[in-house]
């Protein structure tokens, strides 16, 4: 049986841990509000960019069909095989965020197993993903590493990541690029998402009416060529922001649960301390009464 001193020491240790978890929860909550604001600010741009790319691609499809040519929009739209797959894995830089990183790593393991035997390339974002990939037995080729960027993600990080991915795709080093990240749904819900970044699916729609009422200078092709790299980088920026908000939400929930568990543990230890003190006092009283009775007799 633990002594009173040991129980008091345990209570003090758990209270110190509880203070840390509460502080981490407050910090994560404050940062998450800023992350949510960043997501809401970036979504209108992403929606408009997606609509512009879709409209321009439809115009290219319509022009090729009218001219009787084979549809060729841009290399970013060219269907390619899956011989040289690439993965952009977005994880956190730190732990203490529940199953956030574990779920992402589990999804990446499934992706790597599906492409076993192929020359796989990976772009690692976040220390947890980078460390996992360096330990992975098959040893995929690392295109680039971005660590220490959370929770202060900026568009420059998406530009650096996008440039590496685009160069590898255009050079033929990779034939398909997928992204695995955590999508922010709510404070209590984060969803692991696997999506294809490149090649971009050819849009479908009304080709006949595409481009009505529009004229382009210097030309539609040049505009599309200038917008597509920005489109890819904008998508990556959105994925980074989603992952950042999801990580902070997961950390806030994990620290809240840890604080509650610490409170329950403190309550149990305090009850145990009081019972043991009561037992000691009762035993001492019984010894005193017994000694008094022995003297009286």
Catalytic residue IDs: 97
Nearest Cα residue to 85 out of 14, 143, 21, 15: 143
DSSP string, 204-257: -S-STTTTTT---SS-HHHHHHHHHHHHHHHHHHHHHHHHHHHHHHHHHHHHHH
Helix (H, G, I), strand (E, B) or coil at 199: coil
Task: For the chain, give the longest Cα–Cα distance.
Answer: 122
Residues with Cβ within 8 Å of residue 99, at least 6 apart in sequence: 250
Angle between helices 127-135 and 100-114 (to 10 degrees): 40
The answer to whether 102 touches 138, Cβ cutoff 8 Å, is no
DSSP string, 2-23: --HHHHHHHHHHHHHHHHHHHH
CA distance 178 to 165: 10
């Amino acid at each position: 049986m633990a002594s009173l001193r040991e129980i008091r020491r345990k209570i003090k240790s758990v209270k110190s841990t509880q203070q840390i978890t509460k502080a981490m929860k407050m910090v994560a909550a404050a940062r998450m509000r800023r992350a949510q604001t960043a997501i809401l600010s970036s979504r209108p741009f992403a929606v408009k960019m997606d609509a512009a790319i879709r409209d321009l691609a439809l115009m290219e499809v319509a022009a090729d069909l009218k001219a009787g040519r084979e549809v060729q929009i841009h290399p970013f739209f060219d269907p390619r095989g899956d011989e040289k797959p690439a993965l952009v894995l977005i994880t956190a830089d730190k732990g203490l965020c529940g199953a956030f990183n574990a779920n992402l790593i589990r999804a990446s393991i499934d992706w790597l197993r599906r492409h076993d035997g192929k020359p796989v390339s990976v772009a690692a974002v976040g220390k947890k993903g980078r460390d996992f990939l360096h330990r992975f037995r098959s040893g995929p080729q690392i295109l680039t590493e971005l660590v220490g960027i959370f929770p202060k993600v900026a568009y420059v990080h998406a530009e650096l990541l996008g440039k590496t991915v685009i160069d590898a795709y255009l050079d033929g080093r990779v034939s398909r690029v997928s992204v695995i990240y955590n999508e922010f749904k709510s404070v209590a819900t984060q969803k692991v998402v696997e999506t294809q970044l490149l090649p971009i699916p050819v849009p479908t729609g009304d080709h006949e009416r595409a481009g009505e009422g529009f004229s382009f200078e210097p030309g539609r092709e040049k505009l599309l060529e200038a917008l597509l790299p920005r489109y890819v980088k904008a998508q990556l920026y959105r994925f980074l922001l989603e992952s950042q908000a999801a990580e902070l939400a997961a950390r806030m929930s994990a620290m809240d649960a840890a604080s509650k568990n610490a409170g329950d543990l403190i309550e149990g230890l305090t009850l145990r301390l009081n019972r043991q003190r009561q037992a000691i006092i009762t035993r001492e009283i019984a010894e005193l009464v017994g000694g008094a009775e022995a003297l009286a007799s």
